Amino acid sequence: MADSTAQPSRSRDLDKLLLRPGHLVGPNFEPGAELRDDIKTYAKVLVVGAGGLGCELLKDLALSGFCNLEVIDMDRIEVSNLNRQFLFRLEDVGKPKAEVAAKRVMERVSGVDIVPHFCRIEDKELDFYSDFNIIVLGLDSIEARSYINAVACGFLEYDSDDNPREETFKPMVDGGTEGFKGHARVIVPGVTPCFECTIWLFPPQVKFPLCTLAETPRSAAHCIEYAHLIKWDEVHVGKTFDPDNPEHMQWVYSEAVKRAELFGIPGVTYSLTQGVVKNIIPAIASTNAIISAACTLEALKIASGCSKTLSNYLTYNGVEGLHTKVTEFVKDNDCLVCGPGVLIELDTSVTLRKFIDLLEEHPKLLLSKASVTHRGKNLYMQAPPVLEEMTRSNLDVALFDLMDKIPKDIVHVTGTAGKSGDKQSCLRKLRVAFKGINGVTEMDMAGGA
Amino acid sequence: MKVQNYVSDEVNIAKFAVNFTISFFFGVMGDKCLNLRASLVPGLFRTDVKGRLSMIKLFKVKEKQRELAENSNGKPPVKKQSAGELRLHRDISELNLPKTCSISFPNGKDDLMNFEVTIRPDEGYYNGGIFVFTFQISPIYPHEAPKVKCKTKVYHPNIDLEGNVCLNILREDWKPVLNINTIIYGLYHLFTEPNHEDPLNPDAAGVLRDNPKLFESNVRRAMAGGYVGQTFFTRCI
C-alpha cells in the first residue's frame, strides 16, 4: 500500500480520540493534529517481553500511533511459540524473539521504528530505562516484574513536602495472562500502587513436600518433581538442572516415567513434564490479544490524556462465561519501593553513630537499634555478631563519606520502634540529604526541575 | 460533537472494562493467580476515581532536556536493592540465634543473599556433631522460601544424602510472615527431634522407627566418620 493512501485511513479511528474534545478527557488534553504528531515524535515506549503478549503489544502500539518503540527479550523462538506468537514463522525458530518481532512489525507498519534488545532485563544500565516515557510489560514472572518495578520507581523523586514530582514519573502498563485468565494494570509510581505495594496478594506457589515426592507419590506431577528435584541431584553431582536444555528435560521425563511405572501412576507425558518443571500453563492466543489491547489503550491514554486511565487493575476471566472487573488498589504509603520515605537533612560531618542516635529521637521514626544499608552496602549491622564486628569500624566515619559523598540518596534502616513493652520491628526508607553541597540539595528540595 | 465523542470514548473503553460485580478475580501469568473477596481485605479498595493523565507535554520537555544533556557526563548507574534484599536485611539484622547455631557470610558483609548456618546440637542423637547448611535467597523473598541444603553428609531420616531437607516451612508451609530465624530453629529442631514419619532417607527412617538403639549407634558411627550400610560418611564431630 502506498504511503499517501495509507496515512489517512490508518489514523482515522485514532483521530476520533485524539482530534476531538470529550467528557472523559484529562485536564490538560489538547485535541488536535499536533497531539497526534507529538505522540509519533516524542513518545518513546519500551515493551518488555516479545512473547505471546509482546508480539501483540508491538503490533497494537504500532497501530495506535506510537512510532518510537523498543523491545527487550532474552529468549529465542521455539516451535511451540508459533501458534500464538504470530510475528514468528517456522524458519525463525532459534532466532532472538526481540529481533524478529521488531523486524516483522516494521515491515508491516510503515513509519514505525522498533529497536530490539536481545538480552536480559538486568543486563541493561538504568540509563537505558530512563530514556523511555512509558514501559509496557508483557512478562511471565513475579521476579521480572518486581525488577522492572524497582527500576521505574527508582526514578521517582519527592519534593520536601513528600509530594511526588511529576517530571520523574515513569508510568508502567503491566499485562499478564495465564490460560483463559489475564490482567492489565496501570502503575504510575507515586500515584497508583506499585507492583511491590500489592505483591502480598499473590498466593504462595504450590510446592509439594519433599518427603511426599520421595516416599508416597500420588500424582504424575509428584513423579516429575521427584525426577527434577531429587533424582537429578543424586545422579548429576554438581551439575545444575537447566529447564531450557532439551536433553535435561528429556532425562527428567524418562526418570519420571520410570517412577510413575513403579508406583502405577498414569499421566506422565513430555509436555506435562515441561509444564510442571517450568510452571507452564497452556497459553490462549485470544487472552493475549484482549489483555494486550487493554494495555495499549492505557498507554495511549497515559500519553495523550484522551480519556481517564484504568484505575488501576483490570482482571479478565474467560474460564466460565466471561468476567471482567476493574479494582482500584490503594497505594502503600510506607512502601519501601515507591513510597516517599522520611526526609532527613544532615550536616556532612555527622558520623554513622550520631546518625543512628538521631533516628531514635526523630519524631517520625523513634527507631532504636538501627541497622543501616545504602545501595547494597551494609554500613552497620546490629546482628548477627559476625556482621556487627565487620561493620563496627564504620560507626565513627562520617555518613557522607560512607555514602560516597552523594548529596542526596535513599538509605534503608531496620530497627525497633515504639514505646518499651510495645516494641515493634520495622524497616524504613529514608531520604538522606546533606546540607549545603553545591547548592544541589536546596534546589532539588524546592521541587524545581 | 461532544456527545458523539463521549460515546466513542465509552465504546472503546467498554470493550475492555465490562463491569462485573459478583466476584473479584485476579489472574496473573506465571503460576500465579488468586481469587479473593474484597470484604476480606479492608482498606484495599477505594472508590474515588483518579487517573486523568496527559503526559505528552512532559515527554516533549524531557526529550529536549535529553538532547541538551547528551554530551554532559551522566550520573553513574546505580543498581537498586530489591525489596527482597531489604526484607532479608531486616531478618538478618534481627537474628537471635541459640548458642548452638551460628551464621557466616562467605561472600562478605554485603552479600546477605547467600550464607551458611552451622548447627552444633548439644543434646539428642546428634550431640557433638557439626552440620553446615547453605541458604540461597531469591530476589522476591519472602514471596518465595529460601533454598536450603545440608552441605554436611548426614545419616538422618529427614535429610537425604544429597543434602535435601524435608522441613515443611521450606516448601509447602512457607509463608512470608516466617523469617530466617524461624527456619534456623526449624533446622535445629530436626536434630533434636528426627522424625521417621517424613522420611527423605527411608533406610534411616526405618531404623529410627523400629530400632532406636541401632539408629543411635548408626548416627554415632556416621558422625565419627565411617560406613553405615553401603554409605560412607565423613567425620563431622
Q: How many residues does chain B have?
A: 237
Lowest mean per-residue pLDDT among A197-206, A248-257, A269-278, A367-376: A197-206
The residue assigned the cell 511426599 is: A212
Quick one: closest CA in A to B11, which residue?
A: A17
Distance between CA atoms of residues A381 and B222, nearest Å:
38
Rounded mean pLDDT, B92-100:
94
- CB of A312 within 8 Å of a chain B CB? The answer is yes
pLDDT digit string, tens, across residues A284-335: 999 999 999 999 999 999 999 999 899 999 999 999 899 999 999 999 999 9
Tell whether pTM > 0.95: no
Q: Are A86 and A176 in contact (CB under 8 A)?
A: no
- pLDDT at residue number B69: 62
CB contact under 8 A, B53 and A42: no
- pLDDT at residue number A206: 81
Report CA-CA distances (Å) from B190 to B154, B160, B217.
12, 13, 18
Quick one: closest CA in B to A21, which residue?
A: B2
All cell numbers assigned to B21: 460485580
Distance between CA atoms of residues B121 and B87, nearest Å:
28
Query: In this structure, what are the phi and psi dihedrals at residue A305, rounded to the nearest 5 degrees?
Result: 75, 15
Rounded mean pLDDT, A151-174:
93
CB atoms within 10 A of CB A217: 21
**Residues A87, A92, A93, A95: is their CA dihedral positive or negative?**
negative
The residue assigned the cell 499478564 is: A176
Nearest chain A CA: its distance from B214 CA (Å): 22
Lowest mean per-residue pLDDT among A31-40, A59-68, A144-153, A235-244: A235-244
**Does the pLDDT of residue B31 top 50, yes or no?**
no
Determine whether B42 is exposed, middle or buried from the number of CB atoms within 10 Å of its CB (0-12, 13-18, 19+): exposed
Residue to test with chain B: of A141, A207, A210, A329, most B Cβ within 10 A: A210
Give the confidence band of A445 by pLDDT, cuts at 50, 70, 90: very low
| Residue among A211, A302, A325 whose CB faces B198 most closely | A211
ipTM: 0.84
All cell numbers assigned to A289: 490479544
- pLDDT at residue number B16: 31
Distance between CA atoms of residues B79 and A122, nearest Å:
9
CA quadruple A206, A222, B146, A334: dihedral, nearest 10: -10
- pLDDT at residue number A26: 80
Residues in A 155-214 with any Cβ partner in B closer than 8 A: 166-167, 169, 171, 176-178, 181-184, 186, 188, 191-192, 196, 199-211, 214
Residues in A 93-112 with any Cβ partner in B closer than 8 A: none
pLDDT digit string, tens, across residues A343-382: 999 999 999 999 999 999 998 899 999 999 999 899 999 9
- pLDDT at residue number A152: 95
Using a CB-CB cut-off of 8 Å, the residues of chain A touching B47 are 328
| Residue among A28, A199, A427 whose CB faces B143 most closely | A199
Quick one: closest CA in A to B181, which residue?
A: A384
Distance between CA atoms of residues A97 and A138, nearest Å:
13
Q: Which residue has the higher pLDDT, A348 or B54?
A: A348
**Does the pLDDT of residue B14 top 50, yes or no?**
no
Distance between CA atoms of residues A181 and A286, nearest Å:
10
- CB of A330 within 8 Å of a chain B CB? The answer is yes
pLDDT digit string, tens, across residues A385-422: 999 999 999 999 999 999 999 999 999 999 998 776 77
All cell numbers assigned to A393: 569500624
Nearest chain A CA: its distance from B157 CA (Å): 10
- CB of A39 within 8 Å of a chain B CB? The answer is yes
**Does the pLDDT of residue A4 top 90, yes or no?**
no
**Does the pLDDT of residue A443 top 50, yes or no?**
no
**Does the pLDDT of residue A217 top 50, yes or no?**
yes
- pLDDT at residue number B189: 95
- pLDDT at residue number B34: 32
- pLDDT at residue number B52: 61
Q: Are A133 and A111 in contact (CB under 8 A)?
A: no
- pLDDT at residue number B76: 47
Q: Are B169 and B182 in contact (CB under 8 A)?
A: yes
To the nearest whole number, what is the mean pLDDT of chain A?
Answer: 91
Q: What percent of chain B has pLDDT over 70?
A: 71
DSSP assignment letter at A72: E
Rounded mean pLDDT, A162-183:
94
**Residues A84, A90, A96, A101: is their CA dihedral positive or negative?**
negative
| Residue among A20, A26, A297 whose CB faces B1 most closely | A20
Rounded mean pLDDT, A129-151:
94
**Does the pLDDT of residue A440 top 90, yes or no?**
no
**Does the pLDDT of residue A166 top 60, yes or no?**
yes
All cell numbers assigned to A86: 504470530
Strand partners, A173: A136, A186
Distance between CA atoms of residues A377 and A392, nearest Å:
14
Rounded mean pLDDT, A169-198:
95
To the nearest whole number, what is the mean pLDDT of chain B?
Answer: 78
